[in-house]
Chain A
Amino acid sequence: KTKSILKNPFLKVEDRRCNYRPFYLQLPSFPVVSYSNPKPCSPFDVEKKNVNGQKQIQMRQRTPANNDKESFPAQLPAKNKKRKGYCECCMKKYDDLQTHLESEQHQNFAQGSHYQVVDDIISQFPCDFVDLRENTPKTKRRKCSV
């Protein structure tokens, strides 16, 4: 069967022109304002009730994507130690921030001329900090491009 009926309670959002994939959420229960949560807790704070992790599994937002599950376990362990992310300079994802920053590609970018737009702004700053006489913008920029 290619159709599936959403299980109550649910929330479904789609663009009115039907050009895009709808996205939806099926949840075990609809949120309720809890007045008995002690201040200053969120009235939607339900952490304590879902100790068994049920919430994590069921309350996930369904925005179907094909490689959902495959990538899931692989990402978890590294979370604490390494910093994953995306480098806007290299247009590239990395698994470990430090390693990426030291990579040849990133270093080339870092030492290249792309930062002129930043330096142009910096050169307009007046500076009343002590050291500036010795570090005129010129000197500083020369340093940077080395």
Chain B
Amino acid sequence: MEAAHEDELHLHCEDPHKKYEPNKKLTGASTDIEKLYQAVPQLGSMFKIKGKIGEGTFSSVYLAIAQLRGGREEKVALKHLVPTSHPLRIAAELQCLIVAGGQDNVMGVKYCIRKNDHVVIIMPYLEHESFLDILNSLSFEEVKGYMFNLIKALRRIHHFGIVHRDIKPSNFLYNRQRKEYALVDFGLAQGTPDTKIDLLKVAQSEAQKGSFAYKPHLTLGSQVSVISTAPRQLVHQSASKTGTKRPSSFSQTQIKQGHKRKEGSEWHSVQRSVFGERNFNVRSSTLQDGSTVKLIKHSRVTDIASRKLSAKKKTAVNNGLAKKAASTCPANLTCDCYAKDRVCSICLSRRQQVAPRAGTPGFRAPEVLTKCPIQTTAIDIWAAGIIFLSLLSGRYPFYKASDDLTALAQIMTIRGSKETIQAAKTFGKSVLCSKEIPAQDLRKLCERLRGKSINSDISTGDIQQVINPSREHMLPAEISNSSEFVSQTPQQYIQYQKKSCHEGDGMNVRISEKAADLKGWDSVPDEAYDLLDRLLDLNPASRITAKDALLHPFFKNMKP
């Protein structure tokens, strides 16, 4: 499952295995380069492609040398989009780069070449670090600079009404030496209702009118990709055929989630559902009265889906319980499972809600994970908070989940279950959790994860951990899970020991980390954790904006 997500675009990939290694990768990459030259012959006369530096589901990125007019050479990044990308999506990505890019740490664009369905975007090349490699050697000041510059980029794109949707270290290039930064990859970008990126708007209205064949497919891996733009009457009509009128809701978008699990995530990562979902989100209110004749194409698809659902419903209706429910409350399939630890054939027969969720698992905000249909620029802020959490704790990836609800459970473990449930209410979601988990103090959490004890004295810190690992497990967060840790601890303990004993250079690593520790890590100000708390606000409505974050006391000495 994770593998499928990893397949998502890693522009200028940070994974060391995927890094450009001229000698090792030559065979595979050189055929790709050959293919690219063949697909887009014009490239040959302008660029010397040196190698592939990133590969994802939606694009591959190459490092190339451009021949400039004066004879000068310049490094550029060539982003070859997967030829299945819709022209409107391609155009929207280009427009994001043109309008918002080139300033405030947002990647710009130099040129673009097309040959049929092959589109190559030419961007300046920024040599950059691997986040994982440098994570534990950054000084605290560097972390502050990194966050400041990341948020600056977010302020820029949010100003233009762009929701990036895939904020993560591999999409934020960082040149440590030159203190240069670049936010990249608008391949999943979505417009806010008032976006200033015309094509993000055009895409919506065009799709809605059905005047081009771009179907807003909302498929999280569905066999039938069911569609958002059907007029509401149709939905009702088809639903009423089985005598089960669908309750009206502000979202008409429905989908059947066909494949699940492994292949489900594979499909969804491949299908980049966002482009269509944008319509769904942004237009849901207009949609309801604005059904046009041209929608018929879509409604046909919807109708098939509805029929399929209806068929399914019939099965549900066949059992007495459901029948009763259906007859007593035809307008809505109610049951008494709400907010209880159970499900029944009635609630399970309802349609699934669809909401955008494209992006990378560990960086998804709670409102994304719980399928809140209205998603704003706040989801990028959450992701920036996750990056900050990694920087402060020295852990990357911080969250490691194979599915959305596991990710949510992990968030609850950090931010508290009550708090998460409370926040979810504000965006229309009921979250029920079998266990109450207290929120963690962010400073304590990060310092323990970073290994604060090592700071003051290397040997003491190590010995403490090695000699008494169980002490580590007696802290509040884990006490409730004592039965689990009993079984886990020995293995972890052994592993930890192995690691410390077998790595000959373990000590050197620690010493260099110690050097970094001295650079401000012994006195992380409260403002840092306050900002982290604001970025990781579980409620998207009150979550700090990029604009405000730059004015946060944490950045007091920096110029916004």
Chain B 290-309 near chain A by CB (<8 Å), digits 1 or 0: 00000000000000000000
Query: Are B451 and A60 in touch, CB under 8 angstroms?
Result: no
Which residue of the partner chain, among B319, B339, B433, B478, contacts A11 with CB atoms under 8 Å? B433
Bound CA–CA A59/B402 (angstroms): 8
Name the residue on A nearest B270 (C-beta).
Answer: A85
Interface centre among A9, A37, A86 (most CB of B within 10 A): A86
Q: Which of B260, B337, B499 contacts A68 (CB 8 A)?
A: B260
Q: Is A135 an interface residue (CB 8 A)?
A: yes
Are A129 and B111 also in contact (CB < 8 A) when A2-B322, A25-B406 are?
yes
Task: Find out whether the CB atom of A33 lies under 8 angstroms from the CB atom of B275.
Answer: no
CA distance A135 to B112 in the complex (A): 13
Choose from A37, A61, A100, A122 the contact partner of B404 (Cβ within 8 Å): A61
CA distance A130 to B48 in the complex (A): 12
Give the segment of B13-21, B178-186, B261-269, B526-534 that binds chain A: B261-269
Is the pair A111, B116 in contact by a Cβ cutoff of 8 Å? yes
Check if B400 is an interface residue, CB within 8 A of chain A.
Answer: yes
Contact digits for B93-134, partner A, Cβ 8 Å, 1 yes 0 no: 011001000000000011111111101001000000000100
In this complex, what residue of B is CB-closest to A45? Answer: B400
With both beta carbons as reference points, the residue of chain A lying nearest to B499 in the complex is identified as A38
Residue of B nearest to A86 (CB): B271
The answer to whether A18 and B69 have CB atoms under 8 Å apart is no
Pairwise interchain contact A12-B68, C-beta atoms closer than 8 A: no
Question: In angstroms, how far is the closest chain B Cβ from the Cβ of A141?
Answer: 9
Contact partner of B434 (CB less than 8 A), chosen from A6, A46, A60, is A6
Tally of contact residues, A, Cβ under 8 A: 96
CA distance A76 to B264 in the complex (A): 11
Residues of B within 8 Å of A132, CB to CB, are: 46
List chain B residues, Cβ under 8 A from A122. Answer: 94, 112-114
B46 touches A130 (CB 8 A): yes
Q: Does B259 contact A (CB under 8 A)?
A: yes
Complex formed: what's the CA distance from A17 to B399 in Å? 30
CB distance from A65 to the nearest CB of B (A): 5
Residues of B in contact, count (CB < 8 Å): 141
Please encode chain A, from 60 to 101, with 1 for each CB lying within 8 Å of some chain B CB and 0 for all others: 110111111001100110010001111111110010010011
A79 CA to B481 CA, complexed, in Å = 37
Inter-chain contact B351/A21, CB cutoff 8 Å: yes
CB within 8 Å for A88 and B214 given contacts A21-B351, A40-B396, A67-B258: yes
Q: By DSSP majority rule, is chain B's interface helix, strand, loop, or mixed? A: mixed
> Are A20 and B469 in contact (CB-based, < 8 A)?
no
Q: Mark A1-24, 1 if CB is under 8 A from B, else 0.
A: 011111011111111111111111
- Is there an interface contact between B263 and A24, defined as CB atoms closer than 8 Å? no
Residue from A12, A67, A71, A100 whose CB has the most chain B CB atoms within 10 Å: A12
C-alpha gap A29/B424 in the complex (Å): 23
A130 to B45, CA, bound (A): 8
The answer to whether B89 touches A88 (Cβ under 8 A) is yes
Question: Residue of B at shortest CB range from A143?
Answer: B115
Query: In the complex, which of the residues B215, B395, B485 contacts A91, with contact meaning CB atoms closer than 8 Å?
Result: B215
Select the stretch in B25-33, B146-154, B490-498, B545-553 that faces chain A: B490-498
Tell me which residues across on chain A come within 8 A of B485, comparing CB atoms: 32
Would you call B397 and A29 a contact (CB within 8 A)?
A: no
Residue in B117, B122, B451 whose CB lies within 8 Å of A110: B117
Chain A residue at minimal CB-CB distance from B405? A25
Residues of B within 8 A of A72 (CB): 259-263
**Closest chain A residue, CB of each to CB of B451:** A39
Asked whether A2 lies within 8 Å of B319 as measured between CB atoms, the reply is yes
Chain B, range 54-76, C-beta contacts under 8 Å to A: 57, 66-69
B464 contacts A by Cβ under 8 Å: no
Residues on A with C-beta less than 8 A from B434 are 6, 8-11, 30
Cα distance A54–B65 in the bound complex, in angstroms: 49
Question: What are 22 A-B contacts defined by CB distance under 8 Å?
Answer: A5-B341, A6-B434, A11-B431, A14-B347, A24-B405, A34-B492, A36-B465, A40-B396, A42-B399, A46-B400, A72-B259, A79-B266, A86-B225, A88-B86, A89-B85, A90-B84, A91-B213, A97-B84, A100-B84, A118-B91, A122-B113, A129-B47
Q: 5 tightest CB-CB pairs across the interface, nearest first?
A: A110-B117, A25-B405, A75-B263, A88-B86, A20-B353
Task: Beyond the given A8-B435, A65-B256, A76-B263, please list 12 additional residue pairs across the A-B interface where CB-CB is below 8 A.
Answer: A24-B343, A36-B492, A42-B400, A75-B263, A85-B82, A88-B84, A106-B84, A117-B199, A118-B87, A129-B46, A129-B47, A130-B67
